[in-house]
Amino acid sequence: MTDTLTLTMRTGGRPVLVLGAAPEAERWLDALALSTTLFRGWGAAATVPGVAPAARPDSEAALHGMVANSAMVVILDEHASDAAAVLNAAAVANVPTWVPGRPAAGTAEPALPAGGAPGSPAASATAPAETTLPTQEIPATGFVSLVGAGPGAPDLLTLRGLRTLQKADVVIHDRLVAASLLEQVPAAAERIFVGKRRSNHAVPQEQINQLLLDRAREGKHVVRLKGGDPFIFGRGGEEIEHLMEAGVPFRVVPGVTAASGCAAYAGIPLTHRDYAQSCVFATGHRREGALDLDFQGLVRAGRTLVFYMGLHSLQDLCDGLIGHGMRADMPTALVQQGTTVAQRVITAPLNGLPEAVAQSGIRAPTLLIIGEVVALRDRLAWFEGTGESMAWAENPDR
């Protein structure tokens, strides 16, 4: 095992902007100069053999333009004049940055391979292509990232979500977040579990909101890690509203919501040209003891219904839909712990689902899918029987 990662970057013919001078950085420049990458910049860049330096842009707008048109920004000396402005412009324009002397400060740091520089033929031979994707700069001052952790399988986290986690000072996480994702967080980062359970918040929402504010005001990068997607039954909107009112900067990193994850892993396309032209996400959670649903509006031909948090109101949901005209034998599926090795799927006609579920011993979290598309599972189920799902049968304690 090696402690370096060899990366390749496609510049698409765009120049790399190199700024600043630092004696120890000469070796990086020498290696970079071997590649076909073009450089431009001012200051130390003038010393790269054969590379004519560009003039310093004469306005803020011109500087932003130059950065935005670069494939990457390399800052050899963070204290060089314009370094901060260039880094800031790169963050705005989503241009990858590399500060060789600052590996953990939110920059992309390609490790130079023994055989050549990033982008050189020698480097490309061994390099993964991931760095062709843009990276996001996290501002150095207090900042909150609201990150969707995905539906269960840890590697359904987005790449941006992973990169954000790896730059966290504090992680505030929920119950439905895969434990192994927390291993991606720097060892020194603070981890705070605020484990929300159905109608029983381990930490009240107001306290979570305050925690986000407090840690951000300490100048930290706070990652608020939520199951699925933060904006789908995740109270993400409330949390950022609070941050916005307090003037704390934030960003939202979407996640794969349970409906997408469970449906995909159960072999149930949520829409299908022949069977479903629309799909509705609804909640089966009771408010003050009652379901707050417009059954009349929900029941439509050619529509798939997905209920989050519906296990405990299953009977009422089925009765309500049948009572408002849905056919009693409409195909349904209840997916437990979708996308994980513990996934289970119960299928039954709408009027038989409560009984089938009662017999099954299935438990939360579950997602309910109702509609003609569910019948496609008979042909399209793919996850069961794969090595991934078999792992549970071999090791139920995982």
Ligand X SMILES: C[S@@+](CC[C@H](N)C(=O)[O-])C[C@H]1O[C@@H](n2cnc3c(N)ncnc32)[C@H](O)[C@@H]1O
Contact with ligand X (CB under 6 A): which of 232, 240, 253, 263?
Answer: 232
Task: Decide: is 308 part of the binding site for ligand X (CB under 6 A).
Answer: yes
Nearest Cα residue to 185 out of 239, 224, 240: 224
Return d(Cα 343, Cα 36) in angstroms, integer.
49
Give 66's contacts (C-beta < 8 A, 6+ positions apart).
17, 40, 54, 57
Q: What's the min distance (Å) between Cβ of 136 and ligand X?
A: 21
State the residue for tokens 């933060």: 230
Question: What are the φ and ψ backbone dihedral angles of 270, each rounded to 5 degrees?
Answer: -70, -30
Q: Is 257 in the site for ligand X (CB under 6 A)?
A: yes
Sheet containing 72-75: order of strands = 39-40, 16-19, 72-75, 97-98
Q: How far is the CB of 116 from ligand X (least distance, A)?
A: 44
Binding residue (CB under 6 A) for ligand X from 266, 335, 373, 374 = 335
174 is a catalytic site residue = yes
In the bound complex, what is the minimum distance in angstroms from residue 52's beta carbon to ligand X?
52
Least Å from the CB of residue 264 to ligand X: 11
Identify the residue whose tokens are 């707050």: 292
Q: Which residues 261-300 are close enough to bind ligand X by CB under 6 A?
A: 262
Nearer to ligand X, 137 or 239 (CB): 239
Q: Is residue 181 within the footprint of ligand X (CB under 6 A)? A: no
Closer Cβ to ligand X, 93 or 280, answer by number: 280
To the nearest whole angstrom, how small is the minimum distance from the Cβ of residue 25 to ligand X?
Answer: 44
The correct pick among 89, 338, 341, 344 for binding ligand X (CB under 6 A) is 338
> Tokens 């590399």 identify what position?
98
3-state secondary structure of 144: strand
Can you tell me which residue has the tokens 């994850």?
261
Site string for ligand X, 357-386 (x = CB under 6 A): -------xxxx-------------------
With contacts defined by CB under 6 A, name the span among 39-47, 180-188, 333-341, 344-352 that binds ligand X: 333-341
Q: Which is nearer to ligand X, 235 or 251 (CB)?
A: 235
Residue in 43, 234, 267, 320 binding ligand X, rule: CB under 6 A: 234
In the complex, the smallest distance separating the C-beta of residue 288 from ligand X, rounded to whole angstroms, is 17
Q: How far is the CB of 335 from ligand X (least distance, A)?
A: 5
| Marked catalytic residue, from 77, 167, 169, 196 | 196
Q: Which stretch binds ligand X (CB under 6 A): 54-62, 135-143, 228-236, 295-303?
A: 228-236
Could you tell me where the DSSP H helices lie in the chain? 26-33, 60-68, 83-93, 121-124, 159-165, 205-217, 236-246, 258-266, 295-298, 314-323, 353-360, 377-380, 387-394
| CA–CA gap between residue 258 and residue 150 (Å, rounded) | 7
> Do 368 and 279 touch, CB atoms closer than 8 A?
no
**Interface with ligand X includes 337 (CB under 6 A)?**
yes
> Site for ligand X (CB under 6 A): which residue of 15, 151, 331, 371?
151
Would you call 155 a catalytic residue per the annotation?
Answer: no
Nearest to 97 by CA among 174, 23, 169, 16: 16
Which residue's CB atom is positioned nearest to ligand X? 228
How far from 359 is each of 337, 346, 348, CA to CA, in Å? 18, 10, 12
Phi-psi label, residue 386: left if phi above 0, alpha if psi -120 to 50, beta otherwise: beta
Going by the DSSP 8-state scheme, the letter that residue 99 receives in this structure is -
Asked if residue 172 binds ligand X (CB under 6 A), the reply is no
Q: Which of 309, 321, 330, 350 binds ligand X (CB under 6 A)?
A: 309
Put residue 119 in one of left, alpha, beta given phi > 0 → left and psi -120 to 50 → alpha: left
Our CB check for ligand X shows the closer of 48 and 364 to be 364
Task: Decide whether 43 or 150 has the Cβ nearer to ligand X.
Answer: 150
Tell me how far apart the alpha carbons of residues 356 and 325 are, in angstroms, rounded to a whole number.
Answer: 22
Active-site residue among 77, 167, 169, 174? 174
Minimum separation from the CB atom of position 183 to ligand X (A): 19
**C-alpha–C-alpha distance, residues 45 and 42, integer Å:** 5
Please list every residue from 198 through 227 that binds ligand X, using CB under 6 A. 226-227
* Positions that interact with ligand X (CB under 6 A): 151-152, 176, 226-229, 232-234, 257-258, 262, 308-309, 335, 337-339, 364-367
User: Which residues are annotated as catalytic?
Assistant: 174, 196
